[in-house]
């Protein structure tokens, strides 16, 4: 079907592939909606589309950006993205908002938070609901990234919720993981988990302007000290700590220089290729687990027994481990239950 026959109609595989490959933003948006659909026929078409476009993916710089609410993620992304498009890059922003779980994502909200990028022909902003997934990303974030790369975007900025979920989910699908922190770290380092610092490729202290300059520099010093007691993930990279001001566009250029230095070093050492390969395998495992859970939910007998067991586990009548074995045996995946030939 052609898009001219109505925007609600599903395009053909060829039309989706051609539109995305040509960088058509409307087709890209519809392709992302397709992969987010829970309808079986849409999922099948989406997987065919991803396979068709696979050779055109993997060329972008993938950057995950996280930080507590109020740290200025959107403001920094708006400034950084604008700097990059002015330099000739095509930037895709995958913005995840906690409120989008109810609303399904608010494009208007993202346009308000990133006004310059929202009007930039070389930028694409896509809000997505977290749908209860950890790490502040959606179940289809990886697929959306692949589609954006196939559409010619060479920089992907993944803005995460940053409200305490496991940020390892984000770091596990990007090349560079940036953690934003507010000035005035204090003795408790703002309560940030040690695990987040361990997976950070860089910390940027935001809002380093006006009366915040001295506090920002002090916070940066404390974070540098924290890094000293941690073992770097790579022998080729010691995570830097910098100060930035998106409002004054100060330090943003240095931030991007660091990201490019990281990419150059990791490409040369072969770490980037190995990391991408590991991420692809992890993506496969995650999708397999999700599909298996979906199949379990769709099986009426399993669903009915699952409900009964949940009740019994809740009342303390059955141990969780035994309940799992019951379900495993029911779906025929328990080798011990099989009779010898």
The confidence score (pLDDT) of residue 256 equals 98
Count of beta carbons in the 10 Å neighbourhood of residue 182: 18
Same domain? For 234 and 212 the reply is: yes
Same-domain check for residues 48 and 137:
no
Residue 306 domain-assigned?
yes
Same domain, residue pair 78 and 1: no
Token output for 27: 């087709």
In a domain, 273, yes or no: no
Mean pLDDT in runs of 10 for the chain (341 residues)? 50 96 95 88 92 94 89 94 97 72 46 86 82 55 94 94 64 91 63 70 94 91 84 86 95 97 96 93 85 80 90 93 89 59 49
* pLDDT at residue 106, rounded to an integer: 45
| Last residue of one domain, picked from the residues 268, 290, 319 | 268
Ranges assigned E (strand) in the chain:
61-67, 91-96, 123-128, 155-159, 176-181, 202-205, 241-243
Domain annotation covers residue 92:
yes
Give the separation between CA 263 and CA 70, rounded to whole angstroms: 28
Phi and psi angles of residue 327, each rounded to the nearest 5 degrees, phi first? -65, -40
Q: pLDDT tens for residues 97-131?
A: 544 444 444 444 555 788 999 999 999 999 865 55
Within 13 A of 251's CA, how many CA atoms are on the CB side? 21
In a domain, 90, yes or no: yes
CA proximity to 207, closest of 65, 47, 67, 76: 76
> Which pLDDT value is given to residue 110?
56
- Residues 78 and 153 both lie in one domain: yes
Instruction: Render pLDDT for 32-71 as a digit per residue (tens, 0 to 9).
Output: 999 888 788 898 899 999 999 999 999 999 999 988 888 8
User: Do 47 and 70 belong together in one domain?
Assistant: no
Residue 328: what pLDDT?
Answer: 86
Residue 179 placed within a domain: yes
Q: Is 315 helix (H, G, I), strand (E, B) or coil?
A: coil
**Token pair belonging to 117:** 């990028």
83 and 151 inside one domain: yes
Alpha-carbon radius of gyration of the chain: 22
Instruction: Kindly state whether residues 171 and 203 are assigned to the same domain.
Output: yes
The domain tally of the chain equals: 3
Looking at residue 131, its pLDDT comes to 54
Paired with 159 in beta bridges are 65, 95
Residues 315, 244: one domain?
Answer: no
Write down which residue in 240, 268, 296 finishes a domain: 268
Task: Looking at the structure, tell me whether residues 87 and 197 fall in a common domain.
Answer: yes
Nearest residue to 234 via CA among 285, 192, 200: 200
Residue 293 sits in the same domain as residue 332:
yes
What's 220's domain CATH number?
3.40.50.300
Same domain, 37 and 155: no
CATH no. for residue 12?
Answer: 1.20.5.170
Percent of the chain with pLDDT over 70: 81
DSSP lists the bridge partners of residue 66 as: 179
pLDDT score of 241: 94
For residue 289, what are the domain limits? Answer: 281-337
**Does a structural domain hold residue 173?**
yes
Domain match, 236 and 101 both: yes
C-alpha distance from residue 85 to each of 88, 120, 123, 235, 249 (Å):
5, 8, 7, 32, 15
């Amino acid at each position: 079907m052609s898009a001219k026959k109505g925007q609600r109609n599903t395009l053909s595989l060829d039309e989706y592939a051609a539109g995305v490959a040509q960088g058509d933003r409307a087709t890209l948006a519809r392709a992302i909606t397709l992969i987010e659909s829970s309808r079986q026929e849409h999922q099948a078409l989406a997987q065919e589309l991803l396979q068709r476009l696979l050779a055109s993916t993997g060329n972008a710089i993938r950057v995950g950006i996280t930080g507590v609410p109020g740290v200025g993620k959107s403001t920094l992304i708006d400034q950084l993205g604008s700097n990059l498009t002015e330099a000739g890059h095509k930037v895709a922003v995958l913005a995840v908002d906690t409120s989008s779980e109810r609303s399904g994502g608010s494009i208007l909200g993202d346009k308000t938070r990133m006004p310059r990028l929202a009007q930039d022909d070389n930028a694409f902003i896509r809000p997505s609901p977290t749908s209860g997934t950890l790490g502040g990303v959606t179940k289809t974030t990886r697929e959306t990234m692949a589609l954006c790369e196939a559409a010619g975007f060479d920089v992907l900025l993944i803005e995460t919720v940053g409200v305490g979920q496991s940020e390892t989910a984000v770091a596990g699908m990007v090349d560079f993981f940036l953690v934003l922190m507010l000035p005035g770290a204090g003795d408790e380092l703002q309560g940030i988990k040690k695990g987040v610092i361990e997976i950070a490729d860089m910390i940027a202290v935001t809002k380093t302007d006006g009366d915040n300059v001295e506090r920002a520099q002090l916070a940066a010093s404390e974070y540098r000290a924290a890094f000293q007691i941690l073992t770097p993930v790579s022998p080729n990279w010691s995570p830097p700590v910098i100060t930035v001001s998106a409002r004054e566009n100060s330090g943003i250029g240095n931030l991007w220089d660091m990201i490019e230095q990281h990419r150059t070093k990791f490409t040369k050492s072969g770490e980037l290729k190995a990391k991408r390969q590991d991420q692809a395998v992890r993506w496969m495992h995650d999708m397999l687990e999700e599909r298996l859970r979906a199949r379990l939910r769709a099986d009426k007998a399993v669903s009915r027994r699952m409900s009964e067991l949940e009740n019994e586990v809740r009342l303390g009548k059955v141990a969780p481990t035994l309940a799992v074995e019951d379900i495993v045996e029911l779906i025929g995946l328990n080798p011990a239950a099989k009779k010898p030939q």
